[in-house]
Structure 1
Amino acid sequence: MVVLQELQQQDEQTVDEERFRSSRNPTTRGWFYDNFVKDHTMEAKLSKFKSDVAARNGFVGSLFNDAFKYTAWIEIHRKLTERNLESIPCKEAFELGQSNQVVLLDVREPDEYEKVHVENSKSAPLFRQIQGNDLKANMRRLGYAMMTDFAGTERNPLFIEQAVEAVGGDKTKKVVVMCSIGGTLQTYVERKGPKAKRFADPERMFGRQSRSLKAAYELQEAGFTNVYHLKNGVNEWIHLDLPIAGTST
């Protein structure tokens, strides 16, 4: 008798659960949420992006295959964080450069470097202007023209080769990588002072990506063993009135 009652209760519970899942009452959040909101929340988009990246072994998909294949930022952020990439303030980088202890490597585009750059830095651009006139190249130019007001770029296939040349072939040499803004791996904002505190920043779930951080990752992957990152980039270097060179100085 007890067994029959338990089975009856289980059947009633199953019926209730099926009713709860029915199209008339799919979830406690309601029909509108399930059909128009659920798949568009930050959590849902992030989950989908993570699964897409994982399915491609950490690479971002592209219609152009290897011509525009690159590691997804969330994967770069994870690996650089695990490797404890150190960001060096501009004044410290300047002092190291003065003593010839580092190679200051500028990974901005060549025209940016030509206009203004850190004194004694060397150029190895991570990106370059889109090359060629085939269908894929023109389609990518068109995509940039539709979305932005600047010429399209692509990864520079000679980046590692130029970086190796900049360090004289010595991949163990200390390299400080720089771009305009620097970016950050931090996922929080910090209040300093007697009541110092950190706050999680939802806008920095994966820090702030930049060319220098991406370049630091590419250098590490290529076997460079002593890579550092310039905090706040060339913009702060200029703001601090540290030595610069170029056609616009």
Structure 2
Amino acid sequence: MPRWDVMWQYLIDQKLPTLTPQEAKQRVGKKQWVLIDVRPTENHEEAHPEGSKSVPLFKKVQWGQTTFMGFVRAAAMAVNGVTPMAVNEQFKDELERATGGKGAILMCEAGGTMTPSSNFVTGKVSRSLKAAYQAIEQGKMKNVAHLDGGVYNWYKSGLPMVGEYNTGNLGRTPNAANAPTGKYFDDK
């Protein structure tokens, strides 16, 4: 996967739409779009927006089925207390099967943002935004959108969930920064 700034510029050029949870629910209700949860499968199984399908962008590293460099990266992650993950090489195929030709509304835990701010000049990277890049640039999908605020925002909006959403995850994943305000930003 390329660097985030490269993906961000591509997504800006492609005019990736970001939808509120209410807009996403409305599109899914019209049966032309599918909610796609790109979080790890375990997170989806624990709790997810009603009707969403799990297509993880990253999967746990299978220690016996990785390259030497993959093993080294996974070991470094494990030593630092991080679950070793690698890009899901079947993501594009799984996404295509899950959507069945419909549009994909991609979501992760907190969603990230395409909006630049003083702290995040190229927006705030997230799994769902990386997944959008993969879907559009490499998967050649035409109808792709991003869920603003991710699963957390869906839950916070009071929309239907399946399972017990773990609010303990909220602090684990930094939420996207609010859009900047003030004289400098408001005058532009």
| Both structures adopt the same fold (TM-score exceeding 0.5) | yes
SS in 2 for 1:209: coil
Matches within 5 A, 1:223-234: 223-234=140-151
Matches within 5 A, 1:172-183: 173-183=102-112
How many pairs does the alignment contain?
Answer: 162
Give the ranges of 4+ consecutive aligned residues of structure 1 lying more than 3 Å apart after TM superposition. 134-138
Give 2:73's aligned residue: 140
d(CA) in 1 for partners of 2:69 and 2:9?
A: 31
Unaligned runs of 5+ in 1: 1-69, 189-200
Decide whether the 8 Å contact of 1:105 with 1:122 is kept in 2. Answer: yes
Match of 2:133 among 185, 195, 217: 217
Decide whether the 8 Å contact of 1:213 with 1:229 is kept in 2. Answer: yes
d(CA) in 2 for partners of 1:75 and 1:85?
A: 14
Amino acid at match of 1:111: E
Taking only the aligned residue pairs, the percentage that are identical comes to 33
Give 1:23's aligned residue: none
d(CA) in 1 for partners of 2:15 and 2:36?
A: 19
CA shift, 1:94, in A, is 1.2
Query: Does structure 1 residue 158 correspond to structure 2 residue 90?
Result: yes
Deviations 1:52-85 (A, max 9, x none): xxxxxxxxxxxxxxxxxx2111100111011111
Unaligned runs of 5+ in 2: 166-188
SS in 1 for 2:154: helix
d(CA) in 1 for partners of 2:45 and 2:83?
A: 17
Give 1:9's aligned residue: none
Decide whether the 8 Å contact of 1:131 with 1:137 is kept in 2. Answer: no
Q: CA RMSD in A?
A: 1.4
Amino acid at match of 2:78: A
Asked which structure has the greater CA Rg, the reply is 1
TM-score scaled by length of structure 2: 0.81
Greater helix content: 1
d(CA) in 2 for partners of 1:121 and 1:139?
A: 34
